[in-house]
Amino acid sequence: MKAWEDLVGTALLGTRRRTLDPATQPAAVQNLIEDRPDPAEQLLTAAAVLTTYRRAGRQPLHDVRPLPVASHDDRPFVPPLARERLARLLAASHPDLLLEWLGIVAGTDYRVPPETLPLLAEAARSKAALRGPLVAVAGPVGAWLGQRNPDWSYLCAPAEEQADVWQYGSLTQRRRWLAAKLTQDPAAAREALHTSWKTEPADVRSDFLGVLAGHLEAQDEDFLEAALTDRAAAVRERAAELLGRLPGTRYGESMAERLRPLVRRRGRILEVTVPQGERGDGTVRLRTLVAAAPLAFWTEFGPPAEVVRMTVEGCPAGVLRDSWATAALRQRDETWAQALIGADPGGRTTPPLLGVLGPASQAATVGHLIGRLPVESFARLVHELPRPWTKELGTALLDWIARQDDHRLVSHAAVVIARAVPPRCLRHPLATTRLTMDAGPWRRALTETLNFRREMYEELA
């Protein structure tokens, strides 16, 4: 609009340096300013008229049709106390607690009040983890909102059972479709995955392998072997990880055969020869071989608890231990996980290895680590423990923190413990015992969070 541009340019420069050219203005504005001799008065008059026109000078709308009404949802709303708690969660911006709250509601027959949906949709727009449970609790009203606002389009996602979701759905929809199909019709799911595999971007290929990880079968060996030659490193690594979970694969046996001439035991010493790589990457090659070979390969050198404590010559001991840890994680081998944790309880591989253990062993091992590690080291370990936690592990951690004095790292660990312990731990004495007046702020926050979470579950029971 030339009139507006000339007006703004004159205002920026000032009427002493530039006067408004009436010829650039609409005829109605020219009639208003032509009898005004002061350039500043001309400018202000034109600005007032043009600004009003830009704000309100629009043609009336024709053929206006009312918006369609959202489909009926006969589910009851969450109880009044739960509504109040939702308002507090949204006002306080606690996405982790909000995610838990939505997950609880999604497991019931309740829905959220429609007036809360815009705020929930905005929260889920920036935190994708909230979207799945929000779609479930929002129902058709959420889908209606998603159709009106492109930023909330995830709320109106088509049902995963539709035939064209695999071709045209979002990544989240396709992941859900693949996971459901692998359970309901594994053959059809694998056919769809194999057919579209070469046309998928690298990050999507890696993501789909992650979905396949929960449904691995022996028939996936050929497909995963082919993925080992993928041009994307992330895909190759994920394929090797999944092959490690399958027992007796050709890949694992070939890695063991290549590793066999490189390892020899001499008394309490494990002699390892680093393989010669084409580009001097022998250590990288050794890591690959050890991580991919079945852990049963090492039984000829002794039991796991003995092997991991041997003196290593020929390569850094850390390379071997890290690769053993990778193999134990892939093969879900509890014996090796226990042995590696015992040999280096404060090591960086200890947290993921704890995830390999069964509930009772995990809690017992954590109790053992509490006695072996300094308080500061164990407090750091808490942040890295794999989730979800079992009741046994949650109870062990609550018992530990109940005995601790004020410490910066302990207070940080308390935040993690309060949010991560499972619902069955929310009646621990820490949450039900009245605090003394001299209790530290972190201890009060811990108790408040445990009680807050317990009340969430009780209100929605």
**Span 68-97, pLDDT tens digits:** 888 899 999 999 999 999 999 998 878 889
Mark whether 189 and 261 lie in a shared domain.
Answer: no
Domain count, the chain: 5
- The token duo for 252 is 């694992």
Task: Report the pLDDT value the prediction gives residue 163, as an integer from 0 to 100.
Answer: 55
Q: Is residue 425 part of a domain?
A: yes
Contact present, 245 and 332 (Cβ < 8 Å): yes
Mark whether 220 and 128 lie in a shared domain.
Answer: no
- 394-404: pLDDT as tens digits: 999 999 999 98
Mark whether 287 and 207 lie in a shared domain.
Answer: no
- The token duo for 381 is 């370990």
Cα-trace Rg, the chain: 32
Q: Is residue 70 part of a domain?
A: no
Task: Report the pLDDT value the prediction gives residue 156, as an integer from 0 to 100.
Answer: 82
Q: Is residue 134 part of a domain?
A: yes
Q: Select the more confidently predicted residue: 433 or 304.
A: 304
Q: Is residue 350 part of a domain?
A: no
Average pLDDT of the residues of the chain: 90
The size of the chain, in residues, is 461
Helix (H) or strand (E) holding 377: helix 375-384
Mark whether 299 and 398 lie in a shared domain.
Answer: no
Single out the residue in 186, 213, 246 at which a domain terminates. 246
Q: Is residue 26 part of a domain?
A: yes
Mark whether 86 and 123 lie in a shared domain.
Answer: yes
Helix (H) or strand (E) holding 409: helix 408-420
DSSP 207-220: HHHHHHGGG--GGG
For residue 340, give the nearest of 349, 385, 359, 206 by alpha carbon. Answer: 349
d(CA 228, CA 233) in angstroms, rounded, equals 9
Mark whether 239 and 334 lie in a shared domain.
Answer: no
Instruction: Look at residue 160 and tell me whether its pLDDT is greater than 60.
Output: no
Contact present, 90 and 119 (Cβ < 8 Å): yes
Single out the residue in 295, 311, 343 at which a domain terminates. 343
Full-model pTM: 0.76
d(CA 208, CA 137) in angstroms, rounded, equals 26
Mark whether 134 and 190 lie in a shared domain.
Answer: no
Single out the residue in 129, 156, 183 at which a domain terminates. 156
Q: Is residue 65 part of a domain?
A: no
- 22-70: pLDDT as tens digits: 888 888 888 888 888 888 988 898 888 888 887 887 777 788 888 888 8
Measured at the CA of 145, the angle between CA 141 and CA 149, to 5 degrees, comes to 170
Task: Report the pLDDT value the prediction gives residue 58, as an integer from 0 to 100.
Answer: 73
Mark whether 334 and 405 lie in a shared domain.
Answer: no
DSSP 327-359: HHHHHT-HHHHHHHHHH-TTSTTHHHHHTTS-H
- The token duo for 247 is 């027992």
Task: Report the pLDDT value the prediction gives residue 7, as an integer from 0 to 100.
Answer: 84
Instruction: Look at residue 115 and tell me whether its pLDDT is greater than 90.
Output: yes
For residue 349, give the nearest of 374, 378, 384 by alpha carbon. Answer: 384
Mark whether 429 and 407 lie in a shared domain.
Answer: yes
For residue 183, give the nearest of 215, 136, 231, 229 by alpha carbon. Answer: 215
Task: Report the pLDDT value the prediction gives residue 257, as an integer from 0 to 100.
Answer: 95
- 325-365: pLDDT as tens digits: 999 999 999 999 999 999 999 999 999 999 999 999 999 99
Mark whether 129 and 170 lie in a shared domain.
Answer: no
| In 72-153, alpha helices (H) | 80-92, 95-106, 117-126, 131-148
Task: Report the pLDDT value the prediction gives residue 35, as an integer from 0 to 100.
Answer: 83
Task: Report the pLDDT value the prediction gives residue 241, as an integer from 0 to 100.
Answer: 92
Mark whether 373 and 450 lie in a shared domain.
Answer: yes
| Sign, CA torsion 283/285/288/290 | negative
Q: Is residue 73 part of a domain?
A: no
> Which band of pLDDT confidence, cut at 50, 70 and 90, is reported for residue 277?
low
Question: Which residues span the domain enclosing 242?
Answer: 165-246
Mark whether 416 and 427 lie in a shared domain.
Answer: yes
Contact present, 200 and 193 (Cβ < 8 Å): no
Instruction: Look at residue 279 and tell me whether its pLDDT is greater than 70.
Output: no
Instruction: Look at residue 206 and tell me whether its pLDDT is greater than 90.
Output: yes
For residue 161, give the nearest of 152, 170, 174 by alpha carbon. Answer: 174
Instruction: Using alpha carbons, list the distances in angstroms from residue 274 to 261, 262, 294.
Output: 11, 7, 19
Contact present, 317 and 280 (Cβ < 8 Å): no
For residue 413, give the nearest of 347, 365, 366, 361 by alpha carbon. Answer: 366
Q: Is residue 218 part of a domain?
A: yes
